[in-house]
Every structure is written in structure tokens, then in C-alpha cells.
A and B are shown apart, each in its own frame.
Chain A
Amino acid sequence: MSTIKILHMYADMLDLYGDSGNMEVFSYRCKMRGIECIIDKYSIDSPMPDFSAYDLIYIGGGADLEQQHISADLLKCKEGIAKAYKGGTFLFLICGGYQLMGKYYRDADGNDIPGLGLFDYYTVAPNSRRKRCIGNIVIKTDITGTPVNVVGFENHGGQTQGVKNPFGKVLYGNGNCSKSENEGYCEKNVIATYLHGPCLSKNPEITDYMIEYCLSRSSGEKVTLTPLDDKLEKECRTVMLQRLLKK
């Protein structure tokens, strides 16, 4: 039986808007195919893990306060995470997790919370807490090789700029900045996005892309997954696409 090892970072602190649900969806889709899915947790003051031993590292989103709290701890992990990422470990990052991998996060008072600087983008919070990008969002991504309309819910104050390779094109909603064209950041082994919902709940192709990536990487050959019955997930997405995209 093949195995995927996941490190879920700061699950106890970064879990807004059902982000932990992503792990539930991920392990569900593995289980249905007989793939073993081991999820280890890391939080503040856990012993330093061997990040490179994981197929996927997952970080969710949190409130500003919690984010400040963890940023100092995260910096301690910088070398380990950078090494794992360069070695091909998949990084799946939501909201706060997305922001913290960039250069910095400038909060509403103008203080910079340093990020890991793995990527060039940076995030600036608006000076008013009222100005948030909140609502349903639809983006079109090509990460899987076939265009997929991904539906989620965004709720962020931070405006992320300097993104070289966005995760998707915004069809409805705001994206990286308010009313922007693009959303998130991606590479073949990175998905960083503002999409909550949780993100994977209505978008099985994205989960399967990550599972295939992890299995192909560890086995050294291209793995194609057996399809699952995604009737409910697809119907769920269709309802939202019809509501949001049809004028």
C-alpha cells in the first residue's frame, strides 16, 4: 500500500473557516483508494521535525493575532521548510499560510511581520479593518493540466502583491488584492491561495492533483488515480458556478 506523509503545521492555531477540513477531504480521498495517509502535527515548541521526510506540508489561515504569534516560531523552521520545498515536498498553503511564505506581512499599524521569504510576494494589510475581501470566489486554474473552475470563500484583509505565477484567474470575487485579476500563487509543488470553504471540499481535481504529485514523486513514475464517485462534489460546485457566473 502506498503512503503519503503530511505535516500539518499549527493546526491548533491556524484553523479559520474550516481549513482543517482540507485534511479531512485529503485523507478521505486517499482512503477511498487504499492509500495510507499519515498526518503529523507541528505546533509552537514542538520538536523540530525533518521537513524533508514529508510529501506535503500544509498550513491553514488564522487571525492576525495568531499569525504574529506563530511567525517567530515559523522562522525557526525556515531552513528545514526551504530544503523540503527544494527537494520537491508539496506546499499547500491557505490564507495566513500563504502570506507567511512571502517576504513579509505588513499589518494595519504598519508593523512588518517577516515571512519565510520562500517566494517574492508580500502582503500589506489595509489601514482599516473594515476593508476586507469577503465573499464567494471562483477562479480558473490550469495547474492540473486541464482548466478547472475552483470555487471557494475568501475572507482576507491583506493585499498580496508581487505574485509572479498566480494559482488562478479570478472569474468572480477579489483574489490577491481587492478586485484583482489573479488569485494565489503556484508552482508544480506549491498551491498557495486565499480560498477557504474549505478549498478542497468542492474541488476534487485539486486534491487529486496533489495526491498524484505526491505518489508520482515517491514512486518515481507517473501515477494516475482511479476516479471516485464525485457526484455530490460536482453538483455542489455546479450550483455555485451557476449562481455566481450566470448574470
Chain B
Amino acid sequence: MKRLQILIGKIIVKMLHLMKRNAGNLPGIVLWHISRHKAVSMFKVDCPIIAVTGTNGKTSVTNCIAQLFERSGKKIITNREGNNLDTGICSLLLRHCDMKGRVKADYLILETDESHVPVVYSQLKLETLIVLDFFRDQLDRNGEMETLIQKINGFCKTFNGNLLLNGDDPNTARLGRANPDNKNVKYFHAEPYDFATKTVFEASEGRFCPFCGETLEYDYYQYSHIGKFHCPKCGFGNYKPYITASDIDLDKPVFTADGHTFSPKLNSIYNVYNMTAVAGAAKIYNIRQDIVDSVISSYTVKNGRMESFMLGDRKTTLNLAKNPVGANMTLRVMNEMKGEKELLFVLNDNVADGLDVSWIWDINFSIFERVTRVVTSGTRAYDIAVRIKCSGYDQANIVVRPDLDKAVDELAKTPGRKFVIANYTAVQPTRAALKRYISRNGGKTE
């Protein structure tokens, strides 16, 4: 029976391959149905499995950890395309298994959607689980985050493997208490960077101790609810970090972790946290220092994540912001840069964006520094314009251009530094519009 199911799955993968289609989720979905939702247990995996989960940053961290092992000469299997649901993982394993369902590799490194951690790893033995953060997403802000954490917490209750947690996120750090018998709970942590604040700066959640309900106290906030916290009543948050990022200087950018200085390519505090998680994983697996170095210092992202363009001679940075946290981060990066700049904000409300655009009101625009003009675009160009106006920004400096090409023309018409923020479905059309501008007027892409 099991063999037959794997055979069917493999045939689908082969067919899709012959049709030159990407075998992303489909074979997994089929297998999932014929195996009555126990698809992942079809496979026999003997090698260690490392899983990365969390709301933000899992793709970056998974890719970097995969590189750590690859550059160490190991054979790895990883879901690079980010098919991180059980069906996606299932399709991945189908492509790599033999007819008996055996998966041969040195390590499996799997980005795993938060909600699928329990289902996948109740069927596959996990060695290391890395949890980055939990943020409310604009799509499921209705208490579902708490349900999600509870689910993962339930899984952690019987998990005895390495549990590497963001110790500066109370939502994540609480998982460290799920199984008091697990001796392999480890926390990563970061010392305050230049723009850390004493009070909370952006809309945040998780202000109360999950164990006793007391209001959590913070020594500092890095961004949103991420920072050094502790519960004055029950002591939640008083742990000894396994790895700590310190001497963070985003201008260079550099940071130190475990006595070693890294020079990453991306200059956000956000990236420092991700890379500290990567360094933590490297420490668990004793990866050679020069390999860790080369991975962390070369990691960069494209596809609209802090991507650079030259619109003629105007330097432009495009960043995707799916949620207020992402947008607030980009605003910070923009503010922390010296000199005047102009912002283009592209906001769409398609189905994949969650239809609702009210999350823009959780972005803190009152922090604008030296932003001389704002252009807005997208299907909800006016909504973002109104939002920025009500934060106190002079509406005389806001230009609304729902049409993207016109918006880019408008942005590029004046000299100086430019920033572009686009939400989920807006980012690819925005990249395309920037490239069209460049092909018409000169400049270059990264």
C-alpha cells in the first residue's frame, strides 16, 4: 500500500517534470489525500532534521543554515522554494526518495510553516527546531496567533531535541518552558543596538506574561515587542543566552556573536537577529568558523527585499512589507540613513494581501525623518496617503499616483535618495515598473 502511494506520487512528479511544470505542492497534496493525511509518515528518514519556523525570517534562516552544511560538504535536502506546508514538504521528499520511501541525505533542513510544525514532526523525527518570532499577521489577527503558539507549545511538551529560541521575543521564549525535562533548550539574544528604545515604539502584542499574567518589563525594545524583557513576578525571561549578538553597528554593518565579528551585507536589526539564529545553529553543529563567516557575510536577498535600483542617478531601495513589522523596519532603515529622501509607498488590497488594508494604521509614520516627499500608488493609493497625512505629515507633500508607471515617473522626477515600500502583491509589479523606468530613462538594476 505504502509503496503504491509513493509510486503514484513519483509518477505525478515525473509527469509534471515532463510537462515542464514545477512540482511544488501538487504531488504532496495528492499523496496527502490518498494516505489519509498521514503522507509525511510514508517516508523513512534516518538523517537529522533541522526545522526553522516563525512569522518572519524563516526563508532567510533556512537558506543560510542549508549553506552552512553545503559548504561543509554535506548532502542536504532543503525546501528552497519555500514550500513549507506539509504538502510542500511531502512533495520535496517524494522527489528525493527511492521506491521504498527512503530519503538519503546527511541533513534535512526544512522551512516549516508555524501551523504545520506539530503535524509534520509528529510523523518525522526532528533533531533541532529553531523558532524565530511570532507576529500577528494581517491575515489572521483574530486570536489565531495564540492558538498557533499553543499548538507548537503542545508539540514542544514532548520534544527533547535542540530547541533554539529567540529569547528576546516573549511569544517565542515561552516555548522554552513547555518541556521542563528538555535539557537542550537554547536562547539567542541581542544586546541593544543604536536605535533600541526604552518604551515600545510600534504596535505590539504579547505585553503580558503568558505564565502569570503580569505586565512584562523591558530593559529595551529593539523593534516592535522584540527586546530584553522579564516578568517581575515569576521571572519568565531570566535565562542565560546560548548565543548573544553584541556591538551591533548597522552603519558598517557589523556585529559580534560568541566573540566573533561578522560583517553582514544587510543592515537591519532584523537581519542581525536572523544571522544570530544562524550562528546559533552553527554552534550547535560545530560548523567551521570560516564557513559560518562566509555564509553570514555573503547572505543577501533579492526579489524586492532591500533590493537596490538606480533610477538614472537616483539611488533607490525597494523593500517588501507584508505587515506593519516589515513596514516599520523599512521606515527605520530609511530614517537611520543620513540626508533627505523621498518615499514611494505602493499598497494593494488583492486577495493575497488579505483584502483589508487597515494594518497600515499600525505603522508608525510619526517617526519620519528628513522625508521630503511621499508618492503613493497601488489599488489603495489613497488609503495610504490618508494614513500618512493623519500621522501629521503635511498633505502638500503627498502625491497620489494610482498608476505605477506614473508613480515611478513622479518619484524619479526630483534628485536625491529614494525609498520604495510595496506590500505583498504590489512588490513584483513595482519591480517591473522600476525596471521599465530604467529601460526608458537609464540607470541600472542590482
* A contact residues vs B (CB 8 Å cutoff): 12, 15-18, 20-21, 24-25, 28, 63-66, 134-136, 153, 155, 196-198, 201-202, 229, 231-233, 235-236, 239
Contact = CB atoms under 8 A, between A and B. Distances in A.
Contacts of B144: 63
Contacts of A12: 207
B386 A24 contact: no
Nearest to B396: A229
B207 A232 contact: no
Given A24-B391, A64-B142, 13 more contacts: A15-B203, A20-B361, A21-B361, A21-B387, A24-B390, A28-B389, A28-B392, A63-B143, A134-B355, A153-B357, A196-B356, A201-B386, A232-B389
A28 B390 contact: yes
B359 A18 contact: yes
Given A20-B361, A63-B141, A64-B142, A232 B386 contact: yes
B298 interface: no
A66 B143 contact: yes
B387 A201 contact: yes
B360 interface: yes
A201 B146 CA distance: 29
B398 interface: yes
A16 B73 CA distance: 48
Given A21-B387, A64-B143, A232-B386, A153 B356 contact: yes
Interface string B263-302: 0000000000000000000000000000000000000000
Contacts of B395: 229, 231-232
B236 interface: no
B355 A18 contact: no
A42 to B, nearest CB: 15
A68 B203 CA distance: 21
A65 B136 CA distance: 14
B383 A201 contact: yes
Contacts of A66: 143
Contacts of B402: 239
Interface of B: 141-144, 146, 203, 207, 355-362, 382-383, 385-387, 389-392, 395, 398, 400, 402
Contacts of A233: 386
Contact of B358 (A197, A229, A232): A197
A107 B400 CA distance: 43
A196 B358 contact: yes
A225 to B, nearest CB: 17
Most buried by A among B361, B362, B402: B361
B102 to A, nearest CB: 39
Contacts of A135: 355
B358 A17 contact: yes
B203 A239 contact: no
Contact of A17 (B356, B390, B400): B356
Contact of B382 (A16, A197, A236): A236
Nearest to A12: B207
Contacts of A134: 355-356
Contacts of A202: 383, 386
A236 B349 CA distance: 13
Contact of A236 (B361, B386, B391, B392): B386
Contacts of B358: 17-18, 21, 153, 196-198
A6 B249 CA distance: 42
Contacts of A63: 141-144, 146
B407 to A, nearest CB: 15
Most buried by A among B207, B359, B386, B395: B386
A227 to B, nearest CB: 15
B282 to A, nearest CB: 38
Given A153-B356, A196-B356, A196-B358, A201 B141 contact: no
